[in-house]
Amino acid sequence: MKKRESRDAKVVHFLPNSYFYFERGVAAFREEKMKEAIGYLERARELEPREPVIICQLAICYTEIGQFHKSNQFLRYILENLDEDMHYCYYFIANNFAYMKDFRRALQYAKRYQELEPTGEYQEESEDLIQLLLEETPIGITLENSFVKVEQEFYQYKRELNRYLAEEDGASARRILEKVIDEKPNFWPAYNQLAQLYFEDLCEEDGLKVLYRLLDRSPGNLLGRADLFSYHFFKGHTEEAEKLYAELQKVVPILTHHKERLGIIHAMMGQYAEAEKLFQDIVDLEVTERSKFYYYRTKTAFYRGQHELSEEFWQLFLNCDVYEREAFPFLEKKGFSR
């Protein structure tokens, strides 16, 4: 009888590499399965942590699910640590800032992309983005219906002003606003914006003069009084701040932006119950000064005993700025864990 020859079966082990997971991630992305795409791309990044193309695709996925800050963190990591020549990352960062309503930074990054890639793949898209930002960014927070027509008349001024702001040319921006005020002295948002620019450049006397001009022409101007209060509060002028706060406490705001400003002022003065009432009426998409809003929402929630909610708002505050991460500032209350 012939002896049967036995052979051992060979098992071939398939070990997926980063390219395998990257391809799966891109395929899931194209099918709009973002959770699946992120899972594959995160695995690819684990295998190739310094591959910028993988990280860039991952950043795009996070943009798609609304995590703009996380997306920007990845994109900036690429530019600062992996490949400074991946210039289209600047365009993607600009888009994220636009979504976050940080129009000034959006303009800066879009212009940076155009400077580095004058014939780049996203040149047309970046130009469209810049034009949209210049058209949509207000020179002040103009919510009163009576100002809409006036603001439209100064479309060209808006474009010039926003370009100067994007270039951090405060002197030229101030000249534009002074011209607006000279031609339309009742266009109140221009005063607020002009005073803010003076304060940012540490020209305090000039900033105060602008606010007093505004309040002289419009004594009940809420934003003018709010700006004046903030100046005295941060300068430590207790008597002046308390006097202005007493007047602001009588106001029952209707406009969302007014609720936001007054809520912040109540929190600054430690009146957290009043602040919370106003904050709860504000929809996230309507927030105009996101970093201030979430900082004082954090503080309000913390001192109202809502510690988990306070942590959530602190993360939203950190998401407003990609440059640094600050420690939670309200740790003195016992029993609060980080």
Give dist(CA 219, CA 103) in Å, integer: 31
pLDDT tens digits for range 290-304: 888 999 999 999 999
Query: Final residue of a domain: which of 54, 86, 118?
Result: 86
Greater confidence (336 vs 326) lies with 326
Confidence tier at 137 by pLDDT (50, 70, 90): low
Query: What does the pLDDT read at residue 325?
Result: 59
Does residue 63 carry a pLDDT above 50? Answer: yes
Q: How much of the chain exceeds pLDDT 70, in percent? A: 82
CB-based contacts of 200, cutoff 8 Å, min separation 6? 170
DSSP letter at 269 equals: T
Please report, for the domain that includes residue 40, its CATH number. Answer: 1.25.40.10
Does residue 232 form part of some domain?
no
Does residue 212 form part of some domain?
no
Does residue 94 form part of some domain?
no
How many domains in the chain?
Answer: 2
Query: What does the pLDDT read at residue 213?
Result: 93
Residues 195-204 have a mean pLDDT of: 89
Does residue 226 form part of some domain?
no
Query: What does the pLDDT read at residue 143?
Result: 36
| Structure tokens belonging to residue 78 | 């690429």
pLDDT tens digits for range 90-134: 999 999 988 887 777 888 889 889 989 988 899 888 888 887 777
Confidence tier at 139 by pLDDT (50, 70, 90): very low
Query: What does the pLDDT read at residue 16?
Result: 64
Query: Final residue of a domain: which of 86, 104, 129?
Result: 86
Burial class (CB in 10 A: 0-12, 13-18, 19+), 67: middle
Query: What does the pLDDT read at residue 187?
Result: 82
Query: What does the pLDDT read at residue 140?
Result: 39
Query: What does the pLDDT read at residue 232?
Result: 94
Give dist(CA 316, CA 284) in Å, integer: 11
Give dist(CA 10, CA 72) in Å, integer: 47
Query: What does the pLDDT read at residue 105?
Result: 82
Query: What does the pLDDT read at residue 154?
Result: 53
How high does pLDDT run on average in the chain? Answer: 81
**Owning domain of residue 333:** 252-338
Cβ atoms of 45 and 69 within 8 Å: the answer is no
Does residue 45 form part of some domain?
yes
pLDDT tens digits for range 237-285: 999 999 999 999 988 887 778 889 999 999 999 999 999 999 988 866 6
Query: What does the pLDDT read at residue 277?
Result: 92
Cβ atoms of 45 and 55 within 8 Å: the answer is yes
Does residue 122 form part of some domain?
no
Query: What does the pLDDT read at residue 246?
Result: 94
Query: Final residue of a domain: which of 37, 70, 86?
Result: 86
Greater confidence (263 vs 176) lies with 263
Does residue 14 carry a pLDDT above 80? Answer: no
Query: What does the pLDDT read at residue 332?
Result: 54
